[in-house]
Amino acid sequence: MFEMVIFDWDGTLADTQEVIILSFQRVLSRIGCNVSDEFLKRRIGIGARNMFKEALETAGIPYNEKMIDDLLEEKTKIHLMLTPKIRLFEGAVNLLKALKPMVKISLATMSNRKVIEKTLKEKKIREYFDFVITADEVNEPKPNPEAFLKCAEAMKCQPEKCVVFEDSIFGVIAARRAGMKCIAIPSGFYSKSDLEKEKPDLIVDSIKEKNRILAYILGEESS
């Protein structure tokens, strides 16, 4: 049995894709940076800073860190206004409720601290998480395992006793590099076949598969 479950946010517990793309495109359009929605979707999970850098590099627009800081600040303001449009995936709350008495629960997201705290309160699920780490508290975003390892350290859990829920290939890679098990859910941009290539320990079609997920976490089902 695992001691801690670590959830990703964007695309795993919540459908945030529309809000993320809209906030990025509004900021990028103001500086004449034209990239497709698909370009941005494929980079969700690597952190907003890196997403801005890759977009600017692709468009051939020179930048410095001050410019990126300004873009991040502007995006955060837009994202904060759009949080009411975010919806939790069906089954997310039921799973959190079932897990709460059994294991420690952490949230490791590459979202901004202000955005995630506002959204968790709006959705009335902040109480389920024992620890929350955001992009503001890590030096390296996924696929670097830093966020997951900091969760383990904060909650005094050995990495091998942790299981991560992820919807992106970046998250699956980060979990493996952290020495943790990973349950992958194709509820974000990446398909089941995309995720299978990164060899997660378990793939479920939906977070609604509560019984199968609990069986794995409790050690009743092998990968």
Residue 97 and residue 201 share a domain: yes
- Shared-domain flag, residues 51 and 152: no
CATH classification of the domain holding 113: 3.40.50.1000
Same domain, residue pair 53 and 127: no
* Phi, psi angles (nearest 5°) of residue 187: -105, -5
Same domain, yes or no: 109 and 163: yes
Claim to verify: residue 173 and residue 63 sit in the same structural domain: no
Cis peptide, bond prior to residue 143, ω within 30 of zero: yes
Pair 194, 114 in one domain: yes
Whether 58 and 159 share a structural domain = no
In the block, tokens 């809000």 appear at: 19
Domain-located, residue 222: no
Size of the chain, expressed as the number of residues it contains:
223
Q: Identify the domain containing residue 121 by its residue range.
A: 4-15+86-217
Return the pLDDT at 45: 83
> Residue 131 and residue 72: Cα distance in Å, rounded?
24
For residue 168, which of 41, 52, 81, 74 has the smallest C-alpha distance? Answer: 41
Residues 207 and 134 in one domain: yes
Please indicate, yes or no, if residue 65 is contained in any of the structural domains.
Answer: yes
Distance CA 178, CA 153 (A): 12
Say yes or no: 65 and 99 in one domain: no
Can you tell me the distance from the alpha carbon of 161 to that of 181, in angstroms, rounded to the nearest whole number?
8
How many domains does one find in the chain? 2
Structural domain contains residue 223: no
On whether both 68 and 125 belong to a single domain, the answer is no
- The one-digit pLDDT tens for each residue of the chain (223 residues) are 999 999 999 999 999 999 999 999 999 999 999 999 999 999 988 889 999 999 999 999 999 999 999 999 999 999 999 999 999 999 999 999 999 999 999 999 999 999 999 999 999 999 999 999 999 999 999 999 999 999 999 999 999 999 999 999 999 999 999 999 999 999 989 999 999 999 999 999 999 999 999 999 998 765 4
Number of H helices, E strands in the chain: 10, 8
Q: Do 71 and 114 fall within a single domain? A: no
Distances (CA, A) of 87 to 12, 84, 109, 123, 211: 11, 8, 16, 8, 23
- For residue 60, the cross-strand partners are none
Tokens standing for 194?
């995309």
183 belongs to a structural domain: yes
Residues 11 and 26 in one domain: no
Of 84, 102, 125, the last residue of a domain is: 84
